Structure 1
Amino acid sequence: MSIRSVESTRLRRTHLPERAPLIGMSVRDADLSLRLNGTGHGLLDTTHFDTVRFAPPAWALPTFATAAGDGEQAYTAYRGNGGVRAICAASISTLMGIDVDPERNLAMTTGTQGGLFATLSALVDHGDVVALADPEYLFVERMLRFLGAEVVRVPMVDSPDGPQLDLDALETVSRNGIRLLLTSNPNNPTGAVFTAATIAGLARLAVRDDFLVVVDQLYCRLVYDNAVFTHLAAEPGMAERTVTMLGGSKTESLSGYRVGAVVAGAAVIDAIEQMMAMSCLRAPAYAQHVMTRWLVDDHEFVADRVLELQAIQKTTVEALRSVPGLRVEPGAGTAYLWPDVSALGISDVEVARVLQDEAGVVVSPGYQFGPSGIGRFRICYAREEISWNAALDRMTTALTAVAEAGR
C-alpha cells in the first residue's frame, strides 16, 4: 500500500518544478543531486562567508554574554527589547536618512531570513502577483511559492554601472497590478549596487502604481570604491511603502547570532509582529543586544573589512578570467561573484558538480537564483587567502579542462 506524501502541497510548490525545462529537473531535485543542504560535506564551501577568517567584532561575544547572564532578558517583547530598539532606531535613522520610530517602525527578527519570511507571510495572500528581480536571492521565490503567490520575474539590464533593475519591464508588470516588488540592493547574487537613478525610478513607479517594495539591504555597507548607496525608503513617498531588511550578519560576521532588523511603516511592523509571535514567539532574546553596538562601534571595523574583501575580489577575478570562455565582472558590493560559464558548453548543474568532484569546492549554481541564472554560478570570496588561492588554482584547472574538452 502506498503512503501519501508527507509534504504539503504548499511545500511541494517550493521545489519549483516549472524550472525543469531549463535544468532537466526541479530545483529541489537539482539541489539534492548536488547535496546542497548547508553542510559542505568536508569541501570548501563558498556558499557563505568564512566567519573564522572574517570573525565578528571583539565586542560581539561579551555583549551577548552580558545579556545572557541576565535572566530578565530571556523573555523580550515580541518585536524586540525596547532599549535595543531605541538604540538601533537612532543608528538606522542616521544610516538611512529617515526618521525611524523605535516603537512603530522597527522589529528585531531571527536573522534577515526570519525577518523576510515573517514579512512576506504578513503581506502576501494566495494568488497575489509579486514582482521579483531576476536574479535574486535563492530562497525568496521558494518563500513566495510556499505562500501561493504568482511570481513575475523582472530582469536586470546591463549598464556602465553594472546590472540594474529593468524599470521598463517593471512598469509593464506594475501597470497590470502587483502586490509588491522584492529585490536586494546590493544585489545578491550579482553584487550590483543600484544607482540613484534606478532607485528614483523604482520609487516613482511604486507611488504611481501603488505597490510595496521589500528591499534586502543586508550588504548596504559592503560597497567598494566609495560607491554611493541610495536608500529607497528615503525617496519621496516611500517611507510607508518600503520594507527594509538590515543586519550585521555579513558585514560584521554576525550570522551565527541569528538577529536582524526590519524597518517599515507602523501597520507593516504590527503585521510582522503577529507573524513572529506565531512562528518564533519573539525576537532573539540575548542576541538582539549585540545590535546595540552595530552601526555604533563598528565603523573602522567595516572600513577595514571592505578593503580586505576588495583585495580578495581582485585576486579572484584575475584567476577566473584565466579560464577560456569564462566571463566575470566584479560587483560594486557584497562579497559575491557571478561568473558566466555558458560558453563552456555544460550546464550550471554540471559545473557545480565538476567543481565539487575535481576542485573540492562547493558553489551555488545559478539556477537557484532564477531563470537568468542558468549558465552561471555564485561564489563567496570572503575566505582565508592562502587556502582560497589554492582553491582558485584547483577551480581554474578544472574549468579550463572543461573548456578545452568542449573545443
Structure 2
Amino acid sequence: MPLGRKIRTLIVDDSAMVRKILSMGLSQDPEIEVVGTAADPRVAMQYLVKDKPDVITLDLEMPNMDGLTFLRGLMSKSPIPTVVISSQTQRSAQATVDALAAGAVDVIAKPKMELGGGLNTMMESIAQRVKVAARAQVGQAPAKAPFGQGGMPQRVAPAVTQRSLPPVAAAAAGDIPTWMIAIGASTGGVQALTHVLEAMPVSTPPIVIVQHMPEGFTASFANRLDQTCALRVREAKDGDVLENGLVLIAPGGPRHMKIQPKGNRFVVELVEGPEVCFSRPAVDVLFKSVAQHAKGRVSSAILTGMGRDGAEGQLAIRLSGGRTVAQDEASCVVFGMPHAAAEVGAPEKLVPLSEMPSWLLNSCPKAGARSGLESYRV
C-alpha cells in the first residue's frame, strides 16, 4: 500500500445495520476510506474486479456463498488482508477458527446494535485492527506437517529430519514433567500455532499458550487443533494440571492465565485482572508466572502478532535461565510482538516459522535427563 494513501476498506456483511455501523464508524478514522459495502460475497467480487481494496472486513454467515468459501478462494488467487467480523455462537466460532486457519488476519466480535460510548470505543478498536491488517503479510501460509497413516500428523516438522530432532524424553502422560514450553501469539497466530503444534511428538513437555482471541473462540480453536495434532489440545480450565503431551490454551475473556506449583506438579490458575499491554489474557502475565515458578526449566516462543505483549515476560524467562526464541520478520504476518521482544533482548535468536518446531524440541531436556536441567543448546 503506497505511503500517505488512505486504507481502502471493503465491508462484506449481510446485515444492513452492521454494514451501516461499520461504514460510519470506520469512515470517521482519517486513515481509512470505505470504498464499498456488500451484502454477500458475489457483490463483493464485483468490487474486487473494479479495484482491489487494501483490507476486507468479512462476515462468515451470508446468503448465496458463505464467507469461509469466499475467503478460501480469495486467499488462493489474490490474497487480501481480511478481518473477520463474527457473532459469538458455537457455529460461528468454529467457522471463524477455520477462517483464521485459511488466512484471515484477525477476528473481531460483531458490534452490538446499541448506541453510546460503548459502540464508539468498539469502533475505535475495529479501526485500529483494520489499520494493523493493512500492514499484514498474507498469502504465504506455512506448510502443514506431513501426515502419516490413519491421518495422524507425523512427528517431524516439514524440512526437519528425524536425525536432527533431539531425543525428547519419552514420557507417559502420567509422568511428572521436568520441563515446559510457553508460547505467546496474536495476529496470524492461528496459522503459526497450527504449524508448530502439528509438528510436535506426543512426548513433548506440557505446552501453555496465550493466543489473543475474543471470548468464545478459543475452545473451537483448541478442538480444531486436538483433531489434527498428535498432542492433546484443550482450552485451559482453572486447576488443570500440566502433563506431558498436553497443550493448554488460555481461554479468551476476562481472566489471565498463570501457572502455579501444587505439590510436585504445576497447575493452571485463571485470575481476574486489568488488561496488560491492552490484552486479556496477556502473554506477559503467563510468561512472568512461568519465569517465577519454572526456575529456568522452560522453553518460550513469541510468534507473530501486533503490539508488545510478551516482551517483558520473555525477558523475565531468559533472566531466570529459561530458553527463549521469537519468530523472524519474514515469516510473520505482523512482526510487532517478536520485534518488541527483540528490542529488549528477550529472545536468544529470531528464527523462521519453519524452524520453530525443531528449535523448541532441541531446547528441551535430553532423553533420560531426570533433573530437567540438562538440555540441548541450539
TM-score normalised by L of structure 2:
0.29
Larger strand proportion of the pair: 2
More helix by share: 1
Per chain length, whose mean CA-contact separation is higher, i.e. which structure has more relative contact order (CA < 8 Å, sep 6+)? Answer: 1
